[in-house]
Structure 1
Amino acid sequence: MGDDDTGIHCRLDELLAERGMTLTRLSELVGVSIVNLSVLKNDRAKAIRYSTLSAICDALECEVGELLVRG
């Protein structure tokens, strides 16, 4: 656990799998690069714009609390 570890986990991988969606398709839907989505998916993101968060939740038909969890 590094100094930057917030204890927040991004469940992007699980949500994509549950919906049968690829990272490439999500990238097309939300207008965010695959590289940036991968950073988020691998819990390496330090921040996320509300607009990006909203677009991801719209595309995955989920709530913020389903995507980002503590622990």
Structure 2
Amino acid sequence: MSPAEDEGPSGVHCRLDELLDARGMTLTRLSELVGVSVVNLSILKNDRARAIRYSTLSAICRALDCEIGELLVRAD
């Protein structure tokens, strides 16, 4: 099985919940700001995403006023 087919943990944790909480923002509001569905943001938030577009990553970081390294961290 190749790494792309692996459905196990990716070793990356998304801190979206923590960043939203710190900013008093809802997932729904973030969805409106970045143009990504609540369902897709929820997948990302729950560490179930298998990929993310750079443009989406950039839009999320812009909306949350954070750096990529604050949003995505290693989960060893």
The TM-score with structure 1 as length reference comes to 0.94
Displacement over 2 Å in runs of 4+: none
In 1, Cα distance between equivalents of 2:43 and 2:10: 15
Which ranges in structure 1 are unaligned for 5 or more consecutive residues? none
Number of matched residues? 70
- The 5-angstrom pairing of residues 1-71 of structure 1 reads 3-71=7-75
Percent of residue pairs bearing the same amino acid type: 79
Q: Secondary structure at the match of 1:5?
A: coil
Q: Secondary structure at the match of 2:66?
A: coil
Which ranges in structure 2 are unaligned for 5 or more consecutive residues? 1-5
The TM-score with structure 2 as length reference comes to 0.88
Equivalent residue letter for 1:55: A
Give 1:4 deviation, angstroms.
3.0
Aligned-residue CA RMSD (Å) = 1.1
In 1, Cα distance between equivalents of 2:14 and 2:30: 15
In 2, Cα distance between equivalents of 1:41 and 1:66: 13
